[in-house]
Structure 1
Amino acid sequence: MADATTASPNMMNAAAAPEERIEPKRVVAFVIMVFGMFMSILDIQIVSASLADIQAGLSASTSEVAWVQTAYLIAEVIAIPLSGFLSRALGTRLLFAISAFGFTVSSFLCGFASSIEQMILWRALQGFLGAGMIPTVFASAYTIFPRSKFHIVAPIIGLVATLAPTVGPTVGGYITDLMSWHWLFFINIVPGIGITLGVLALIDFDQPNFALLERFDWWGLLFMAGFLGSLEYVLEEGPQYEWLQDTSVAIFAAVCFVSAIAFFWRVFTVDEPIVDLRTFGNRNFAIGCVLQFCIGIGLYGLTYIYPRYLAEVRGYSALMIGETMFVSGITMFLMAPVVGKLMQKVDLRYIIAFGLVVFALGSWQMTWITRDYDFYELLVPQILRGIGMMCAMVPTNNIALGTLAPHLVKNASGLFNLMRNLGGAVGLAIINQVLNDRTDLHISRLHDRVHWGNATAVETLNMFTQRMQGMGDSALMALKQLSQIVHRQAAVMGYGDAFFMLTVFYVGLSLLVLLLNKPSVVAPGGGGH
């Protein structure tokens, strides 16, 4: 690649001219792939607002229906790093077509599931097969387009990666409200068939290397599945079952530990590892992965904490939650072209630091949360969240993947996307633990203050008692209502603590950009690969 600091502008433009011409067929193929990636990421969260409907439809328990999401996440987190090897062996065209077709068929099976066991099985298959589309799009964006176009393609894939999980509850709420939960899955079928046919007809980015399949490391796959699958299970189930005090969580933690040791030993000793970890030797990629992990905490953490507050404290329906959450989605959509323009003129490290600080500011505004926080109180924090997420995510993609040699990008893309999902899993586990612990602490403190010597508490209790005269044991009912108020107030204070934790975390994280090597600003006339 020509050195942009020494070559003259005329030389750069002349060298870049042939590479500036992108075949329209490739652009159309890329757009189709992006839509497939959007569907795959969307399906992580699309069921979150409709789990109660699925539970009722399949006569499942609360713990069983939670696996509709958990099974998808575990399967996806195993498949994402595997996609790097499969992309080199099968080629982009064949891998993406298999992923899109498999995702479509498993969506069809999910829609017709008649028991919770069937649903969990098909959701796991859907997550495993659909996961291949996500890193393949990232890899294609940074290999088929010249470097001078990164300021256009980077915001597109960044927008999809952040927007899809954000609007998932909204889309799921609307679909379930208008039709039924079955259509959460049936809606994938027609687009899935179109994507499969489109990529088979249009993708010509690379050629397969089927000889690699003969050296496929089955032991590496087994160890990786044990490591990542068990880790996801521990993070999902740990907060609600007191972590290692629960037998199943303890067993999976042990499996995770042993599998992790075996996995890392395998990838560093086998000739053709299932995942090549040597890419972490690139400083910007390694730090970019750390940033992506931490961004995943905020992306999936707030997509969880806002709906939980609105349902638990405000009593919102799935549709009302979706409409409230849509503010962040609109903000991200509007910010995408702005970030693209900024990337041409501003040091990417400054944009990332700005995004993280703005994200922290949005979280800090939520530390004052009360039970009366509604759409308008959440408006500015959600706008700041959308701005911060786009400014942090898109340049991080560019710094981590856009500066790598093209032959490294396929494998690196799987690792990079894995970090975002693992960050989300760790973030949810930490947030759940903080909410549980801090709520219990606040309940204890509030109970200490609500006693017969507290004039306000006695006055409130008497008011409730008078209001419930003639409705049975009015004194007992009044006590129960006062207890509910205490618990709700404690929960709200717990949410405030969780937002404060995120604020401190992201302010501190903004300092990490100082460790990044300064990337070159992508100019309109810059060279390609």
Structure 2
Amino acid sequence: MSSASTTAGSPPRAAGPAAPAADHIDTKKLIAFLAMVLGMFMSILDIQIVSASLSEIQAGLSAGSDEIGWVQTAYLIAEVIMIPLSGTLARIISTRYLFAISAAGFTAASALAATATNIDQMIIYRALQGFIGGGMIPSVFAAAFTIFPPSKRNVVSPIIGLIATLAPTIGPTVGGYLSNAFSWHWLFLVNIPPGIIVAIVTWNFIDFDKPELSLFKKFDWWGLISMGVFLGALEYVLEEGNTNDWFNDNYIVAGAIASAVGAVIFFYRAFTVEFPVVDLRAFTNKNFSFGSVFSFVMGIGLYGLTYIYPLFLARIRGYDSLQIGETMFVSGLAMFFTAPLAGFLAGRVDLRILMIIGFTSFSAGTYIMMHLTTDWDFWELMIPQILRGFGLMLCMVPINNIALGTMPPARMRGASGLFNLTRNLGGAVGLAIINTLLTNRQDQHYFSLRDHIHWGSHAAVTQLNNMAANFNASGLDGEQAALKQMVNMATRQAVVMSFGDIFLMLTILFLAMILGVLMLSKPSPTGGGGGGH
């Protein structure tokens, strides 16, 4: 998959693998494809595998609290640059070379990350992981739509969609187990055996296309640099903005300016050079444009909830990484069992109906979560997570079907990269909004609660006196301890109320998507590709 599939001035000849006319699937191509799917799973999984174990990594590397977040940020910044670039690279050096080199490089970078002895080394190795691993994700989707006949896409589509949604969802589960059972080093060492297998199999079995090395002479280096600055700086601003108080921080301002300048140069180059680093003409396809919008919103829901559930469980319930992973695994199971159903229905039901059911299910899950309290744990979270997993999978197949199902093979790799990019950017924008709202709404709820806790409130004074008496009985300064506990209770409740506000926002957003579905003309129910990262 990838980025630029055809040049602005060249014919759409062998820019992508030719779709087969017959329904027969070559065994060699099937083996290659399954190895590619495993490689994609590893790459997507590694975004979230560290999320529940950052405290262990921080302790192991003696990193500061303001530094440890870069273990994820570095990966995301590097990956978001490679994803759209991978289409052009696949066209120049072929899918075989790109994927095999990416798998081998990702495996080597994983080994390096496991050997990191300080935070600076870890950030560098994670950036390498993200950049090299990003080349594997789009190629899988392009292959799914080009080497398989349309009659088989309802089988391939749920497989890829499942991997794309399951990997980030179970990331905290896998990471929590590994860091608890062994050590944080195994978050990276676990990639080595499958990485070696993927590199060997893809090198020997991929033969979807041939290199076009002559295109290297036309490669748009300025386009690459400007795209890197544009997307890299944008990802930095979105990831670090809330932590650094947005535009009150000089680095955030500099990042925003750099991103804007990079964007101007990138888009100018994309529309004027003969062989742009990313072929944006895929957006002239109406289905692809609509699908990309839905993909963007799906990124908000997928990555937003994968972030907010562990945050609640850690901050409010005091769960460790393993407990968080076990609780989050419910969504993964729901996706796993829904995937075959989604594939079965995609060939028999209007895709718009599937999307409406999916968005409704997701909204129902977030609506239930609006009533969150400090006492909710595994059982209260189970139904919302099942609805979330069910809804995501029912949406995933139709969205990718609509976006990529009508794309000519010549543009497939470029379109696939752009499509995956929209989901990544959706996740980045969603997380930035969620973090900002959590901070702002928590402050507002705290001040509102504080206004109701005063010496004129009989309930508040009674509660305070009871707590003070209990502390005095334990030999403590009852009044001071009671006041401190009351502040902590109000803060905790304010955090929970701010979580409820986030779930309200997500409920409205996904219900609004139903209106977007109604604007679509009836798409063909024939198969579709997988999800994206």
Q: Which TM-score band applies after superposition, normalised by the shorter structure? A: over 0.9
When residues 366 and 69 of structure 1 are mapped into structure 2, their CA distance, relative to the original with a 3 A threshold, is same
Partner amino acid, structure 2, of 1:334? F
Task: Decide whether the 8 Å contact of 2:157 with 2:527 is kept in 1.
Answer: no
> Which digits, 9 at most, give the CA deviation of each residue in 1:378-418, with x for residues without a partner?
11100000011001112111111121111110000000000
- In the other structure, the counterpart of 2:384 is 381
Matched, 1:510 2:519: no
Give distance in 2, aligned partners of 1:132 and 1:56. Answer: 31
Query: Alignment partner for residue 525 of structure 2, among 509, 521, 527?
Result: 521
- In the other structure, the counterpart of 1:371 is 374
Matched, 1:410 2:413: yes
Partner amino acid, structure 2, of 1:518? K
Partner amino acid, structure 2, of 1:474? G
- In the other structure, the counterpart of 2:478 is 474
Any unmatched runs of 5+ in structure 2?
Answer: 1-18, 529-533
- In the other structure, the counterpart of 2:99 is 96
Give distance in 2, aligned partners of 1:471 and 1:89. Answer: 75
Matched, 1:490 2:475: no
- In the other structure, the counterpart of 1:7 is none
Task: Decide whether the 8 Å contact of 1:50 with 1:176 is kept in 2.
Answer: yes
- In the other structure, the counterpart of 1:149 is 152
Task: Decide whether the 8 Å contact of 1:150 with 1:398 is kept in 2.
Answer: no
- Equivalent runs, 1:194-233 vs 2, <5 Å: 194-233=197-236
The alpha carbon displacement at 1:518 in A equals 2.2
When residues 523 and 296 of structure 1 are mapped into structure 2, their CA distance, relative to the original with a 3 A threshold, is closer
- In the other structure, the counterpart of 1:171 is 174
**SS of match in other structure, 1:503:** helix
> Which digits, 9 at most, give the CA deviation of each residue in 1:476-524, with x for residues without a partner?
1110001000000111110111100100011001211233332222289
**SS of match in other structure, 1:171:** helix
Partner amino acid, structure 2, of 1:475? E
Point out the more displaced range, 112-121 or 513-522.
Answer: 513-522
Matched, 1:130 2:155: no
Query: Alignment partner for residue 317 of structure 2, among 314, 319, 325?
Result: 314
When residues 67 and 371 of structure 1 are mapped into structure 2, their CA distance, relative to the original with a 3 A threshold, is same
> Which digits, 9 at most, give the CA deviation of each residue in 1:156-199, with x for residues without a partner?
11001100000000000000011100111111111111100000
> Which digits, 9 at most, give the CA deviation of each residue in 1:262-311, with x for residues without a partner?
11111111110000101100000001001000000000000000000000
Q: Percent identity?
A: 57
Partner amino acid, structure 2, of 1:141? A
Query: Alignment partner for residue 165 of structure 2, among 141, 162, 166?
Result: 162
- In the other structure, the counterpart of 1:501 is 505
- In the other structure, the counterpart of 2:531 is none
Point out the more displaced range, 125-134 or 466-475.
Answer: 466-475
- In the other structure, the counterpart of 2:361 is 358
Give distance in 2, aligned partners of 1:516 and 1:291. Answer: 11
Partner amino acid, structure 1, of 2:275? E
> Which digits, 9 at most, give the CA deviation of each residue in 1:344-397, with x for residues without a partner?
111112211221111111100111111111111111100000011001112111
- In the other structure, the counterpart of 1:336 is 339
> Which digits, 9 at most, give the CA deviation of each residue in 1:442-484, with x for residues without a partner?
0010000001111111111111111111534221111000100
- Equivalent runs, 1:450-465 vs 2, <5 Å: 450-465=453-468
Give distance in 1, aligned partners of 2:518 and 2:201. Answer: 43
**SS of match in other structure, 1:241:** coil
Give distance in 2, aligned partners of 1:262 and 1:448. Answer: 51
State the aligned residue count: 509
- In the other structure, the counterpart of 2:238 is 235
Give distance in 2, aligned partners of 1:180 and 1:287. Answer: 44
Matched, 1:271 2:268: no
- In the other structure, the counterpart of 1:12 is none
**SS of match in other structure, 1:65:** coil
Task: Decide whether the 8 Å contact of 1:283 with 1:517 is kept in 2.
Answer: no
**SS of match in other structure, 1:520:** coil
**SS of match in other structure, 1:175:** helix
**SS of match in other structure, 2:67:** helix
**SS of match in other structure, 1:180:** coil
> Which digits, 9 at most, give the CA deviation of each residue in 1:412-440, with x for residues without a partner?
00000000000000000111111111111
- In the other structure, the counterpart of 1:9 is none
Task: Decide whether the 8 Å contact of 1:41 with 1:161 is kept in 2.
Answer: yes
Give distance in 1, aligned partners of 2:422 and 2:521. Answer: 20
Task: Decide whether the 8 Å contact of 1:93 with 1:203 is kept in 2.
Answer: yes
- In the other structure, the counterpart of 2:23 is 20
Partner amino acid, structure 1, of 2:86? S
Task: Decide whether the 8 Å contact of 1:29 with 1:199 is kept in 2.
Answer: yes
- In the other structure, the counterpart of 1:392 is 395
Partner amino acid, structure 1, of 2:76? L
Matched, 1:84 2:91: no
The alpha carbon displacement at 1:206 in A equals 1.1
Point out the more displaced range, 392-401 or 464-473.
Answer: 464-473
Any unmatched runs of 5+ in structure 1?
Answer: 1-15, 525-529
| TM-score using structure 1 length | 0.95
Q: Spell out structure 1 runs of 4+ moving beyond 4 A.
A: none
Give distance in 1, aligned partners of 2:52 and 2:96. Answer: 34
Give distance in 1, aligned partners of 2:245 and 2:127. Answer: 25
Task: Decide whether the 8 Å contact of 1:72 with 1:125 is kept in 2.
Answer: yes
CA RMSD of aligned residues (A): 1.3
The alpha carbon displacement at 1:17 in A equals 11
Point out the more displaced range, 314-323 or 514-523.
Answer: 514-523
- Equivalent runs, 1:444-455 vs 2, <5 Å: 444-455=447-458
Give distance in 1, aligned partners of 2:402 and 2:527. Answer: 15
Task: Decide whether the 8 Å contact of 1:283 with 1:516 is kept in 2.
Answer: no
- Equivalent runs, 1:182-201 vs 2, <5 Å: 182-201=185-204
The alpha carbon displacement at 1:63 in A equals 1.2
